[in-house]
Amino acid sequence: MNITEIKEIKDLLSSPKKIVIVPHRNPDGDAMGASLAMYNFLINLGHEATVVAPNDYPDFLKWLPNSKQALKFDMQNRQAKKAIEESSIIFLLDFNALHRVGSDMENTLKNYNGTYIMIDHHQQPDDVAKYLFSDTSICSTCQMVYHFLEKLDAVSQINKEIATSLYTGIMTDTGSFRFASTTSTTHRIIADLIDKGAENAKIHNNVYDTNSFDRLQLLGKSLSNMVVIKDMNTAYITLSQSELDEFNYQKGDTEGVVNYALSVDGVIFAAIFIEDKEQSIVKISLRSKGTFSVNKFARNHFDGGGHDNAAGGRSNLTLDETVAKFLTTLPDYQSELLHSYEE
């Protein structure tokens, strides 16, 4: 994003507009945090802003400031379409390819004639937005929104609501500031967000200490299903639809579970395979440490993508077949897997 583009965006935002903000499907803390921060920023500037999420977001994010105002494209379709049609600007946050909103909403967005502004930290962005702010080295889209506000000379306008949303997304996308993507700049921004009103202890509590008993039982099931493949430095977890049903699975319940597989001593590649009978797919989350790229692995084998150390994908095979396919591909990566961590 160059100086001319920043100036153009400043001009665009200098008079009241109807603006829509879109996170990816199954929005996580970073996608919702970035969207609600942008929403609060634009509302305060006098714009008529609407967050349109493709579908619902997890309960552990429902306390975020103004999250109740967000529309869900699948449930509030007429209202959501109207907001999109009437808007002159759409922000696309925390994704970089239109299919990441799901096919229904993708069709609506494909026909959109207004101005797209995309802010995202994933690799290989599609060419869909007039204004693209993309940086794969930054830990979270929320940190990028902070940098975006810096470019607009608007950091002083960050209030408690905006600070709270940005803090939440940076926290969730960095695994509470522990992933390698967390830099000294990240910590400086976090310090500033606390100064601007983000209540750090409360935010951690709201996100991480509001588990249901069922969710923890499901975690127990996940851990007992874990398989470690020592000679590949790999571990994986499976969850079948019947296991999800047994523990009354709610959206977000499996978030972060794959990290337990990555926490096994010596493991640098972790996967979780989650059966979704309704969509007839297996949803896959992949994590790694060091140089082994799960983005590449997901693109090569499971119709997905993401970052080098955190990616996702899907399979149309059964759960057992998907795991079998995973196990057959592993030997091709053995030398990468054995040498990923020590560099």
Binding site for Mn ion (CB under 5 A): 30, 94, 141, 173
Pick between residue 49 and residue 105 the one whose CB is nearest to ligand 5GP.
105
Rounded Cα–Cα distance for residues 275 and 6 (Å) = 44
306's contact among Mn ion, ligand 5GP, none, with CB below 5 to 8 A by partner kind, is ligand 5GP
Distances (CA, A) of 215 to 87, 227, 249: 39, 20, 7
Question: What tokens were used for 12?
Answer: 């665009």
Give least dist CB 33 to Mn ion, A.
Answer: 9
End-to-end CA distance of the chain: 33
Minimum CB distance to ligand 5GP smaller for 17 or for 122: 122
User: In the bound complex, what is the minimum distance in angstroms from residue 173's beta carbon to Mn ion?
Assistant: 5
- The binder of 307, among Mn ion, ligand 5GP, none, by C-beta within 5 to 8 A per type, is ligand 5GP
Partner from ligand 5GP, Mn ion, none contacting 139, C-beta within 5 to 8 A by type: none
For Mn ion, the closer CB: 24 or 283:
24
Residues interacting with ligand 5GP, by CB under 6 A? 122, 285, 304-307, 310-314
Q: Which does 308 bind (CB under 5 to 8 A by kind): Mn ion, ligand 5GP, none?
A: none
The residue with tokens 């100036």 is: 7
**Nearest-approach distance from CB 102 to Mn ion, in angstroms:** 17
17 touches, from ligand 5GP, Mn ion, none (C-beta below 5 to 8 Å by class): none
Residue with CB nearest Mn ion?
30
Strands (DSSP E) contained in 81-226 are 89-93, 115-120, 131-134
Nearer to ligand 5GP, 49 or 282 (CB): 282
What distance in Å separates the CA atoms of residue 96 and residue 217, rounded to the nearest whole number? Answer: 35
Q: CB of 273: closest distance to Mn ion in angstroms?
A: 22
What is the smallest separation between the CB atom of 100 and ligand 5GP, expressed in angstroms? 6
Partner from ligand 5GP, Mn ion, none contacting 313, C-beta within 5 to 8 A by type: ligand 5GP
Q: How far is CA 4 from CA 11, 117, 215, in A?
A: 11, 14, 49
The pairing of strands 18-23 and 131-134 is unpaired
The smaller minimum CB distance to ligand 5GP, of residues 9 and 237, is found at 237
Buried b (16+ CB within 10 A) or exposed e, 95-116: bbbbebbbeebeebbeeeebbb
Task: Indicate the angle between helix axes 29-44 and 160-173, nearest 10 degrees.
Answer: 160
Where residue 341 falls (left for φ over 0; alpha for ψ -120 to 50; beta otherwise) is: alpha
Between 19 and 294, whose beta carbon lies closer to ligand 5GP?
294
CB 316, min distance to Mn ion, A = 26
User: Looking at beta carbons only, is 225 or 259 nearer to ligand 5GP?
Assistant: 259
Q: Give the total residue count for the chain.
A: 343
Shortest distance, position 223 Cβ to Mn ion, whole Å: 26
E-strand stretches of the chain: 18-23, 48-53, 71-72, 89-93, 115-120, 131-134, 227-229, 234-239, 269-276, 281-288, 305-306, 310-315
Nearer to ligand 5GP (CB atom), residue 83 or residue 310: 310
Nearer to ligand 5GP, 29 or 65 (CB): 29
Q: Is residue 136 within 8 Å of 307, Cβ to Cβ?
A: yes
CA torsion through residues 167, 172, 176, 182, sign: negative
CB of 315 to ligand 5GP, least distance (A): 10
* Nearest residue relative to ligand 5GP (C-beta): 312
Q: What angle (nearest 5°) sits at the alpha carbon of residue 268, between those of residues 264 and 270?
A: 75
Residue 314 binding result from ligand 5GP, Mn ion, none, given CB thresholds of 5 to 8 Å by partner type: ligand 5GP
Provide the minimum distance between the beta carbon of 109 and ligand 5GP in the complex, in angstroms, as a whole number.
16
